[in-house]
Amino acid sequence: MAVEKLPSGQWRASVQHNGVRRRSAPMSTKKAAQKAEAELRLSLHDELGPSTRQPMSVTGMTIRQVAAMRLEQSTFSPTYEAEFTRIMEKLPDSIVDRQVALVTPLHAIRWWKQLQDEGWTTHRIQRAHSVLSSVFTMAIRLGLIRVHPLRDVPPAKPARAEIKLPTPETVQALVGALDEPCFAALVHVMLATGLRRGEVVGLKWGDLTTTDAGARITVKRAVSYTPKAGVVVKETKTYGKGRRTIPLNADAVAALAKWRAVQADRLTLEAVMADQFIFSKTGDYPHRPDWAQFRWNKLCERAGVQCHLHDLRHAFVSGLLEAGENPVRVARLAGHARTSTTLDIYGHLLEG
């Protein structure tokens, strides 16, 4: 039972069980042959029938093979699918080529130590644990194992990173260095609303409401990007909880009005209609989230400051809490699924 490289340079999978042998057609890549091997194992196992089946451990399916099937049958978001694939590619062969039926909790404990010794951060090991847990859940569904070997041996949790809020002087320097109306509007909106970068580039002009009582923006969607899926417009990160309406201050309203006028002049009035994206070159197609990150990095260089784009979100939430706003309302404005999330991250501000 193996994946072999043929003289032609192609790859082929072969599986033998209880005297029955199956081979795949030649494949162009080793990865495709490994996936074919996993499918042959299951097909052969089903073909034998319940009366002659051997324990699934005999079939020897590996973590890598089950992961390939998990990806094929998944309903992952494009972002998590990319993360899943990236983690599987980075994990050592000694882990991913182990048979799922032979993995014990002791192996998992050793894996976390091995990854730590190889320089993986605590947060990244947590991500690996999430990916491998998904693989073993799939193995249980396939009948390959009965007990989840990682269930009771999670890796150490990463220490929560200290939140560094931008000082008023830093914000002033950044605002003063803004030189392009589109990105200037984006920064002012993030300062006023604390939106995530994927949420802010997902805004449309129809999400903006202006009345005599003031202006507000409604968050309905978010944008993500991966090389495989491209730009994807989807529901907000916390779905129903992520849909929210947030007041805008005068600076954000003025910046949006300036950008809307520029966009209409550059393109057409149709480009700033309700169903068009605010932060876009054409109106009908949003900027990628990493566009905002790239522009932000350039802005920090011009302003001569060090500040993360996500710090604008921290400044928004912490400002509300320090002003005495109810944590339930703060969580709703931040788009957190639970108030406990807000308190876990920013609770120390209330204690101070």
Please answer whether residues 44 and 17 qualify as being in contact, where contact means their C-beta atoms are separated by less than 8 angstroms.
Answer: yes
What is the residue-averaged pLDDT of the chain? 86
How big is the chain by its Cα radius of gyration, in Å? Answer: 26
User: Three-class SS of residue 141?
Assistant: helix
Which amino acid, residue 10?
Answer: Q
pLDDT band of residue 242 (cuts 50, 70, 90) is confident
Residue 132 belongs to domain with CATH number: 1.10.150.130
In this prediction, residue 237 has a pLDDT band, given cuts at 50, 70 and 90, of: low
> Is there a single domain that holds both residue 182 and residue 136?
no
- Same domain, yes or no: 128 and 232: no
Q: Which of 166, 173, 164 is nearest to 302 (CA)?
A: 173
**Residues pairing with 303 in the sheet:** none
CA distance 129 to 112: 9
Q: What is the pLDDT of residue 114?
A: 95
For residue 214, the 8-state DSSP code is E
Q: How does pLDDT run across 145-183, given as a tens digit for each residue?
A: 999 999 989 998 877 767 888 999 999 999 999 999 999
Do 148 and 220 fall within a single domain?
Answer: no
pLDDT for 136 beyond 90: yes
222 and 179, same structural domain? yes
Q: What are residue 225's DSSP bridge partners?
A: 231
Q: Are residues 11 and 151 in the same domain?
A: no
Model confidence pLDDT, tens digit, residues 277-302: 999 988 788 999 999 999 999 999 99
If asked whether residues 291 and 179 sit together in one domain, one would say yes
Chain CA centroid to CA 345, Å: 19
What is the rounded distance in angstroms from the CA atom of residue 266 to the CA atom of residue 260? 10
Shared domain for 83 and 173, answered yes or no, is no
CATH number of the structural domain spanning residue 214: 1.10.443.10
Task: Check whether 144 has a pLDDT greater than 60.
Answer: yes
How far apart CA 228 and CA 239 sit, in angstroms, is 23
Where is 116: in which H helix or E strand? helix 105-117
pLDDT at 74: 72
Q: For the whole model, what pTM was predicted?
A: 0.71
Classify residue 281 as exposed, middle or buried by CB count within 10 Å of its CB (0-12, 13-18, 19+): middle
Determine the length of the chain: 352
Residues 3 and 84 in one domain: no
- Do 84 and 129 lie in one domain? The reply is yes
Query: What is the reported pLDDT for 50?
Result: 42
CB distance 238 to 245 below 8 Å: no
pLDDT score of 54: 43
Identify the domain containing residue 144 by its residue range.
Answer: 61-159
19: left (phi over 0), alpha (psi -120 to 50) or beta: left
Q: Are residues 89 and 238 in the same domain?
A: no
* Nearest CA among 215, 223, 206, 222 for reference residue 335: 222
Type of residue found at 84: F
Q: What is the DSSP string of 27-80?
A: BSSHHHHHHHHHHHHHHHHHHH-TTTPPPGGGG--BHHHHHHHHHHT----HHH
Determine contact, residues 66/139, Cβ cutoff 8 Å: yes
pLDDT at 247: 95
Closest CA to 309 of 297, 325, 317: 297
The set of residues, in sequence order, having a beta carbon less than 8 Å from that of 68 and lying 6+ positions away, is: 31, 34, 35, 38
pLDDT tens sequence across 173-224? 999 999 999 999 999 999 999 999 999 999 999 999 998 889 999 999 999 9
Q: What is the DSSP letter of 28?
A: S
Share of the chain above pLDDT 70, in %: 89
Instruction: Please check the confidence at residue 255 and state whether its pLDDT lies above 70.
Output: yes
Contact 113, 128 (CB under 8 A): no
pLDDT in tens, 51-65: 344 443 435 789 999
| DSSP bridge partners of 3 | 13
pLDDT of residue 194: 95
Coil, strand or helix at 53: coil
CB 90 within 8 A of CB 162: no
Higher pLDDT, 190 or 14: 190
The number of distinct structural domains making up the chain is 3
Check whether residue 321 and residue 182 sit in a common domain.
yes
pLDDT reported for residue 168: 92
d(CA 289, CA 201): 7
Same domain, 76 and 190: no
